[in-house]
Structure 1
Amino acid sequence: MLNQSMESSLSKWMTKLLRHTPDEFGLVLSPEDGSCTMNSLLEVIQGQPRWSWVQQKDIEQVIRNSEKQRFELKSGRIRARYGHSHDKITYVPGEQPAVLYHGTNKKALPSILKEGLSPMSRQYVHLSEGTHFATLAGSRRGELVILKVDTLRAKQLGITFYYAGNEVWLADYVPPECCSIWSPEE
């Protein structure tokens, strides 16, 4: 069983492999969903001297304990659910809830309220069904602000939402008129 520090380090390494630089380490991901076999991932991880001791049970522990549920293991294949910076992963459009949330920081707020939410260096804008994940995502970069996104209005404006799993939704863009500041009193 991994201690918390090793689990966190392994999670970051898996994120690098599955979301950002798979080619650099010879990991081939499916263009459809960004997945690979568990055995392929394990082979690449174990190929690094620092991680040669890692077993499948360690990867499964990381998946189980990931607060943001970044990874999905299904039918012997593993993938990062969202946040890829390599080839764009295709998601199926879904019927999103009427309201989604986005965590950001106070410094970015004026730009968002003027120009809307764009993916920046990511492939999609990340939204969540509840404020918990929005808080986790937004609290990393300064004073937290949570935005409430009116998805029904956005859909009327032609925005498509994609379900990435575990309460996470993605969009290519969210117009400014669909974003408002969320208050905990709501």
Structure 2
Amino acid sequence: MLNQAAEVSLSKFMTKLLRHTPEAYGLILDPEDGSCLLEDLLDVIRKTPRWSGITEADIRQVVANCEKQRFAIQGERIKARYGHSHAKLEYEPGTPPLVLYHGTHQNALPAILKEGLQPMGRQYVHLSEGLHFASLAGSRRGKLVLLTVDTVKAAQHGVTFYYAGNEVWLAEPVPPACIARREEP
């Protein structure tokens, strides 16, 4: 069983493998859904001296305990749920709740209110159904600011929403007219 520090470190390495540079490690992801065999991921991880003793149970522990639910295991396959920087994954369009949330930081707010929400190096804008995930995402780079997205208005502006699982929604850029700062209660 991994301790918390090892769990976080392995999660970061798995993110690198499944989201950003799989080809650099010889890991081949399915072009349809970005998944690979759990066994293949384990083999690649074990080739790194630091992780030579990793087990499938350790990977499953990381997946189960990852607060942001970055990974999904389905049968014998594993994938990153969202945020890929290699081939763009396709999701089925869906109908989100009337309001979704986006966490950001104070310094980014003026640009967002002027230009809208942009993917910023990701494939999609990441939104969440609840405040927990939005707060996690927004608090990484400074003073947290929570935004609301009016999904009905956004859809009227041509924005398509995709459900990525675990309360996370993905979208193409969201116009500023659909965004409001969430006032604290």
Map 1:56-95 to 2 at 5 A.
56-95=56-95
CA distance in 1 between counterparts of 2:33 and 2:96 reads: 20
Is 1:151 aligned to 2:142, yes or no? no
Partner of 1:103: 103
Partner of 1:43: 43
Please report how far the alpha carbon of residue 83 of structure 1 lies from its aligned counterpart in structure 2 after TM superposition.
Answer: 1.1
Is 1:116 aligned to 2:138, yes or no? no
Q: Size of the alignment, in residue pairs? A: 185
What code does the residue aligned with 2:23 have?
Answer: D
CA distance in 1 between counterparts of 2:42 and 2:115 reads: 42
- Aligned with 2:16: secondary structure? helix
- Aligned with 1:107: secondary structure? helix
What code does the residue aligned with 2:16 have?
Answer: K
- Aligned with 1:58: secondary structure? helix
CA distance in 2 between counterparts of 1:182 and 1:31 reads: 38
Identity %: 65
Return structure 1 stretches of 4+ with deviation > 4 angstroms: none
CA distance in 1 between counterparts of 2:91 and 2:82 reads: 10
Is 1:26 aligned to 2:26, yes or no? yes
CA deviations on 1:93-141 (whole Å, 9 max, x unpaired) are 1111110000001111011001100001111100000010000000001
- Aligned with 2:12: secondary structure? helix
Partner of 2:170: 170
What code does the residue aligned with 2:88 have?
Answer: K
CA distance in 2 between counterparts of 1:183 and 1:76 reads: 44
What code does the residue aligned with 1:56 have?
Answer: E
Please report how far the alpha carbon of residue 31 of structure 1 lies from its aligned counterpart in structure 2 after TM superposition.
Answer: 1.0
Gaps of 5+ in 1: none
Please report how far the alpha carbon of residue 86 of structure 1 lies from its aligned counterpart in structure 2 after TM superposition.
Answer: 1.0
What code does the residue aligned with 1:182 have?
Answer: R
CA distance in 1 between counterparts of 2:118 and 2:33 reads: 22
CA distance in 2 between counterparts of 1:129 and 1:31 reads: 28
